[in-house]
Amino acid sequence: MKRNLIILLAVMAMPCVFMTACSSDDPAPDLFISVDPILTEISLPGETIEYNITVAGDLQTVNLNNQAIKTYEKGTFEDAFVHVFTWPEDADADMQMTFSVIDRGGTVKEAITQISYIMPDYILADFSQLVANEAKWGDWWEGEAINPVPGATYHGGSSSSSMYVTCRGGYADDNWDFEANLPGGGTGLMMTRLSIREEDGGTAWGGYMMPVFGWYGEGMNQPSPHQLDMAKAEQRVIAIDLYYQTDASSPKSFEDLSVEGKGVKVQFRLGNLAKYKESADKKGWFIIKEAFISEPDKWITLYFSEDDEKEINARDDDGNLFLTMDGGSNEVDFAWFIPAFGNDHWDSHKIFLRNFRITNPD
């Protein structure tokens, strides 16, 4: 009898146990937060990311990097919403985003996401924006369109509000075009080493065509010292979109001009014009880079990531360096672009350019 009474009391107590579980004073689910996406890439100020956020618990606040982005009334136990984050104007590095949910007891749960900053291209010269009546050039090769020398002659005027281009060697209208129709469409700059051919068929100035570009006006940007320092440190790279159009009648073929099977060498320099002139062509250089056109008759991007060590370390008979790398990033005011560097004969292949820019390594 006693045993039956104990069993009866136990059975009668079971509904109370279940009733206690179903009518808890704290019905909130476990604290939870989910954020999507976790990894994103971004590059331009003003770009946005939409974060899909799901939270649960006895909700009080959702924070982003310790700043509240949403608060809740008491009794809210779950939510799903979208938070739009705008990339700041001054941001220039990767960013960690810490989302956190806090319940009314002060407990915190976090979800961490990452934004990878992809630095946008820094345009030095956009030749699609330049037109012939604005792009002046001179037949005297040291950039005197900005620093005139008495008696020098400059085709198109003595200076330019947009850009200047000078060349070691003469110019001919048929060999330079600032509004050239580019292969595949669009307009840009066309140049050819025919400009170094002298009237008697010889080659002027040792065979080098050395266009010198300065930055003035629309489509041209004065180089940023910060960008230039990154290029020198190989964190960024000078890049040029180029089309090398071969001419079957050229006295020198693409293969003749190629270097050790690498292709046609192009040298690119940045420096300070005043130092360069005052030192008889030796000083003021900030970077001297090389790249090779490995394939003709197609658009390629040349990345000037390698120093031209042979040129930088060249010495005269007395053991002195020919060139001095003493130009600072805050002094750079001209670029020197030398196609078919090291070849002392003119050719008639055409070189089309879209732009010069500083970009991320390939």
Query: What is the residue-wise DSSP string for 30-51?
Result: PPEEEEE-SEEEE-STT-EEEE
* pLDDT at residue 167, as a whole number: 58
Question: What are the tens digits of pLDDT across the range 301-324?
Answer: 999 999 999 999 999 999 999 999
* Distance separating alpha carbons of residues 96 and 99, to the nearest angstrom: 10
Q: What is the distance of C-alpha 296 from the center of its chain?
A: 24
CB contact at 8 A, 175 and 194: yes
Given the DSSP bridges, would you call strands 350-359 and 122-126 parallel, antiparallel or unpaired? antiparallel
What backbone phi and psi angles, to 5 degrees, belong to 299? -75, 130
Confidence class for position 166, pLDDT limits 50, 70, 90: low
Burial 69-89 (b: 16+ CB within 10 A, else e): eeebeeebeeeeeebebebee
* pLDDT at residue 153, as a whole number: 37
* pLDDT at residue 156, as a whole number: 38
The structure tokens listed for 48 are 């946005």
H/E/C letters for each residue in 147-168? CCCCCCCCCCCCCCCCEEEECC
Q: Is the pLDDT of residue 143 over 90?
A: no
* pLDDT at residue 361, as a whole number: 86
Write the DSSP symbol of residue 309.
H
The structure tokens listed for 172 are 């001919």
Question: What are the tens digits of pLDDT across the range 263-282?
Answer: 999 999 998 878 887 888 89
- Strand ranges of the sheet holding 59-64, from the earlier edge strand across to the other edge: 39-42, 108-117, 95-103, 59-64, 67-71
Dihedral angle at the C-alpha atoms of 355, 356, 361, 362, nearest 10 degrees?
A: 30
CB contact at 8 A, 117 and 210: no
Three-class secondary structure of residue 3 per DSSP:
helix
Q: Is the pLDDT of residue 147 over 50?
A: no
Give the residue-averaged pLDDT of 34-39: 96
Strand partners, 136: 164
Domain spanning 27-117: CATH superfamily? Immunoglobulins (2.60.40.10)
Give the CA distances from residue 105 to residues 40, 54, 102, in Å, rounded to whole numbers and listed in that order: 33, 19, 8
Strand partners, 212: 166, 336
Question: What are the tens digits of pLDDT across the range 92-124?
Answer: 889 999 999 999 999 999 999 999 999 889 888
**CATH 2.60.40.10 residue window(s) in the chain:** 27-117
Q: Is the pLDDT of residue 209 over 80?
A: no
Give the CA distances from residue 158 to residues 58, 110, 150, 163, in Å, rounded to whole numbers and listed in that order: 75, 64, 11, 12
The structure tokens listed for 260 are 């050790």
CB contact at 8 A, 331 and 286: yes
Tokens 């006895």 sit on residue:
58
Phi/psi-derived region of residue 102, left when phi > 0, alpha when psi is between -120 and 50, beta in every other case: beta
Tokens 């001297």 sit on residue:
288
* pLDDT at residue 152, as a whole number: 34
pTM over 0.75: no
CB contact at 8 A, 31 and 77: no
Query: Of 62, 112, 113, 120, whose CA–CA distance to 91 is shortest?
Result: 120
